[in-house]
Chains A and B, each alone.
Chain A
Amino acid sequence: MSAQYLFNGIVTGGILALPAVAFSLLWKLLRFPNFAVSAYLTVGAFAALTANRGLGWPLASAWLGALAVTALVAWLVDRVTFRPMRARRPFSLAIASIGVTFVLENVIRFVWGNDFRAYDVPVTRAMTWAGLRIGREQLDILGVAVALMLLAQIFLTRTRLGIAMRATADNPPLATVKGVPTERVIGLATLGGGALAGGAGVFLGLDTSIDPLLGAGLIISVFAAAILGGIGSAPGALAGALIVGIVEEVGTLVIPPTYKSAIGFFIILVVLLVRPTGLAGART
């Protein structure tokens, strides 16, 4: 029984890891917590819904379409809202990102309405293995999430552009002095972050249901995972996401599911009190 919760927690953590990595890296790079990542999740979910239900695409293609659409939305938001504010204080940018979230959420609500929706996917039967009920979709989600995390890590550590992204996050003035095109790097990170969040939004819609508050329900967990992992660390955010996912699922054994979202808040509180730099932290 509790092993089932553990497994569900790992799947939740896998979904959570994608926006958590995006949120964490963008935070370090742009020096503010971009809460609009929650809206990017919702944008991704609805983009795939439109492709899947409206255009009749299979979900795999719809998922790829959602990556592209969300990446583009994130890039446009950055251009229109955050770029002109680059020199402002982080607090102003964080507030602006909350404003962006309201706008995107309400555009979605205006177009698609408030109903709970679901993708048109063939019904599959869950497998049973060692007493665990494992959904086919859960396995797909986990596999793709792991693959995306690996790709992100390879990009950040093995490619010149990925190293430039880490350099820009670490020390923007020095990156500028060395001739690194920091605005292009930020643009690319925004595209990548948007894609990761959008892809996760589709997974979330597949795992639960789709409504305009889909991302808003997850942002505290994303925030908790990023802080737990240490801002700016991709492996940290992945570890943080898995821990948050597992604690949230297993936690429902002990506390009523109604209070599930409080677990994220609790984790944030504990991390900030005990180890403010997070798991990968200790570097300032």
Chain B
Amino acid sequence: MTALLEIEDLHAGYGDHEILRGVGLRVDEGEIVTIIGPNGAGKSTLLKTLAGLIRPTAGSISFRGRTLAGARPDAVIRLGLCYVPQEANVFGALSVEENLAMGGWVASGAREARVREVLELFPALAGRRRQRAGSLSGGERQMLALGMALMVEPALLLLDEPSAGLAPALQRLIFDRVREINARGIGIVLVEQNARESLRLCRRGYVLAMGRTQAEGPGTALLEDADIRRLYLGG
């Protein structure tokens, strides 16, 4: 397996406030990797740093063999690394169709075909092409956010809590779709509060705490580890 994304000793934060204090992580081609950890562990900061929104102060990020640390967000998405934020991840004032168009801003050509693919994956959106995204339900908004990310034919998706705030049935639907997207060969980094479900979904998982990688291993192994269960999975 070749590494799609490889992070070593990454440090980043806001101003003088360092949040990531040495994160190491590796994602192989077409793999789902889950990151769990307590609130404030730096999970979202890590994704934002990968997306180019926060400049790392030290460490290295390599994606598809290219150095990514310090790259601007538009350069990052052009390389096929696509970040889906947890909140405000759609343009509320724009229609579903316009949102998809903006999702594919850096993509070239065959936009209509990709829109069709996305709507096949999320049929709930098909009847709402002209509806304002702000008027969609929470689940539909999450589907749209995933759909927007697919518009650029990404190699790796960074998903920040895609199931947050959704009813259990919708959470399952989102996880199913994530599996389906992954089955197309798209790598996925999943940050989740629903740690059990997401560890079952992934091939490998990382435990992040206090800005450092504390543990890593196959998802099922992490689920069974007594310390991790006690510390991060509520027993």
Contacts and interface: CB of A to CB of B under 8 A. Distances in A.
Interface of A: 160, 163-164, 166-167, 169-171, 173-181, 232, 283
Contacts of B53: 173, 176-177
13 contacts: A164-B102, A164-B105, A167-B98, A167-B102, A170-B92, A174-B85, A174-B88, A177-B51, A178-B105, A179-B73, A179-B105, A181-B74, A283-B92
A170 B88 CA distance: 10
Interface string B177-197: 000000000000000000000
B49 to A, nearest CB: 13
Given A175-B91, A180-B102, 18 more contacts: A160-B101, A164-B102, A166-B91, A166-B93, A167-B94, A173-B53, A173-B88, A174-B89, A176-B53, A176-B73, A176-B74, A177-B83, A178-B103, A178-B105, A179-B77, A179-B106, A180-B74, A180-B105
Contacts of B105: 164, 178-180
Given A164-B102, A179-B73, A283 B93 contact: yes
Interface string B76-93: 011000010100111111
Output the residue of A169, A176, A178, A232 with the most chain B CB within 10 A.
Answer: A178
Contact of A177 (B73, B94, B101): B73
A178 B77 contact: yes
B73 A171 contact: no
B134 A167 contact: no
Tell me the interface secondary structure of chain A in the complex.
Answer: helix
B156 interface: no
B208 interface: no
B93 A178 contact: no
Given A171-B91, A283-B93, A163 B78 contact: no
Contacts of B90: 171, 174
B118 interface: no
Interface string B98-137: 1001110110000000000000000000000000001000
A178 B105 CA distance: 7
A26 to B, nearest CB: 16
Contacts of B89: 174
B228 to A, nearest CB: 31
Pairs of residues from A and B, 5 with the lowest C-beta to C-beta distance, nearest first: A179-B74, A179-B106, A170-B93, A179-B77, A170-B91
B143 interface: no
B148 interface: yes
B91 A167 contact: yes
Contacts of A166: 91, 93-94, 98
B91 A174 contact: yes
Contacts of A174: 85, 88-91
A177 B47 CA distance: 11
A180 B163 CA distance: 26
Contacts of B88: 171, 173-174
Interface in B127-157: 134, 148
Contacts of A171: 88, 90-92
A169 B98 CA distance: 14
A117 B94 CA distance: 45
A230 to B, nearest CB: 11
A283 B78 CA distance: 32
Contacts of B134: 283
Nearest to B97: A163
A71 B185 CA distance: 48
Contacts of A180: 74, 102, 105
A95 B93 CA distance: 28
B54 to A, nearest CB: 12
B44 to A, nearest CB: 13
Contacts of B101: 160, 163
Contacts of B73: 176-177, 179
A176 to B, nearest CB: 5
A167 B73 CA distance: 16
Contacts of B85: 173-174, 177
Contacts of A163: 94, 98, 101-102
Nearest to B75: A179
Output the residue of A164, A166, A170, A174 with the most chain B CB within 10 A.
Answer: A174
Contacts of A232: 93
Nearest to B88: A171
